[in-house]
Amino acid sequence: MTITSLSRLLADPAARTVVADRDQPADTTPACRIGAITNSSGRSHAEVFIYGAIHPWPWEEIGEVGANGFVTKLSGLDVDDITVRIHSPGGDVYDALAITNALKAHPAYITVVVDGLAASAASFIAQAGDKIIIRPNAEMMIHDPSGGVRGNSAQLVEYSKWLDRAADNIAAIYADRAGGDPGDWRTAMRAETWYSAAEAVEAGLADETHSDPAAETAATEDDRDGEAAAAAFADLRRAYAHQCRADAPAPFMPSDQVGRQEGSDMALRQEIAARLGIAEDADESTVLNKIDELTELATTPDKPSDAAQLTALAEAHGLRVVDVDWFTEMEAAIEQAAADAQARRLADQAQVVENAIEAGKITPARREHFVALMAADEDGTAALLDSLPANLAVPTDEIGRQPDTDEAEKSAYDALFNPASGDSK
């Protein structure tokens, strides 16, 4: 199966001979030019130019750009910021995808500037920028990929399927950056849709549009308006259904812009890392763990509104809402205070009995008996002991002999606890 395109035809030796016979400018710097690396405010910066068609075997003298050369030069740039300047009619899908992914993977902050035209494959290369600027009067164009093939019917059918798969893949790039449904973008691609600078911003294919005199001067210095380059550029554009925005109908605008990015995935990752307080190159596990940590902190405390509603409801019923930890501490303190008070009470009761023993009112043998009485009736037992005369339990008539029963004590006890109840029987 043989695949042909206008760019490949231009790469044919016969075509090169024809173009070589034309007058060419003395300066034929390759289209993928790396500008001077500069430093400002502590950040290094470089410019990269895509000023020509995109082709796997580029003829750089006429402005073509290939993924191999572009990615090689890009990987050699160890800078903080890169500006990618685009003026291209598009070209090979796979080379353009390789350039797109290389830009997204580069650690530098990528600013894409559309100086003139970003058509076809160049339009989705532009979507790799962390920021996309389209100059006033510049244009973008999106369309289905196309190509030529020579082969049998099965090969033709397979090539048709490949074109559809490639188109769906490209539509997803636009939807990922600008929002909307990939199917709607595919419809716009089938129709070949052109965007002015303002329309590209409105559609989400660019972030802003404004002029930059310094950049315009640099663009003029790098402009490839030689006859050979202009011829190659024009040859690709002849394949378009329309030649410019003025020649095309009103463009498609995604109605559903959910998911629209204000920058590429790299810019988003940098912003997320800054907000989470983690390194920009943190792995997925680190990011997810940090999110889980912050989520737990955010969901653990009660919502203020819920607490306020609960407090109001409690007060309406004469109750008060208190913190559970404080309540537990207070409950424990009250229980301890009660236990301490009971211990002091028992100690005081025992002391009353001890005082009575020391005063000779009762014998030591009756200690436990009176302690039990005090626990059962503190006031009555205290009154009884207070009424007994001192030295009542001390022997007076015979030394060394203790009466079996203290009659006086027993009489006082009986008078208090066993009053007479009528005639005895």
How far is Cα 129 from Cα 85, in angstroms, rounded to an integer? Answer: 11
Instruction: Using CB atoms within 10 Å of the CB of residue 343, give its burial: 0 to 12 exposed, 13 to 18 middle, 19+ buried.
Output: exposed
Per the DSSP assignment, residues forming a β-bridge with 114 are: 86, 134
> CA dist 199 to 126, 148, 204, 217, 372, Å?
15, 31, 9, 25, 101
Amino acid at 128: A
* Across 29-51, average pLDDT: 77
Under 8 Å between Cβ of 196 and 248: no
Cβ neighbours around 61 below 10 Å, total: 21
Alpha carbon 284 to chain centroid, angstroms: 11
State the distance between the two ends of the chain, measured CA to CA, in whole angstroms. Answer: 138
94-120 pLDDT tens trace: 999 999 999 999 999 999 999 999 999
Phi, psi angles (nearest 5°) of residue 200: -65, -40
DSSP 8-state secondary structure symbol assigned to residue 250: P
Q: Using CA of residue 310, residue 314, residue 316, residue 320, what is the dihedral sign?
A: negative
Q: What was the pLDDT predicted at 378?
A: 87
Task: Tell whether domain 2-263 is in CATH 3.30.200.20.
Answer: no
Q: What was the pLDDT predicted at 272?
A: 80
DSSP 8-state secondary structure symbol assigned to residue 389: P
DSSP 8-state secondary structure symbol assigned to residue 63: T
313-353 pLDDT tens trace: 878 888 887 788 888 888 899 999 999 998 998 999 889 88
Task: Return the SS3 of 181.
Answer: coil
Half-sphere exposure of 237 (CA within 13 A, CB side): 21
How far is Cα 249 from Cα 276, in angstroms, rounded to an integer? Answer: 45
196-230 pLDDT tens trace: 999 999 999 999 998 765 554 444 444 444 444 45
How far is Cα 118 from Cα 50, in angstroms, rounded to an integer? Answer: 10
Amino acid at 129: G
pTM over 0.95: no
Task: Return the SS3 of 21.
Answer: coil
Sketch the domain layout of the chain as residue ranges: 2-263, 324-417
How far is Cα 140 from Cα 252, in angstroms, rounded to an integer? Answer: 12
Between helices 153-178 and 93-105, what is the axis angle to 10°?
30
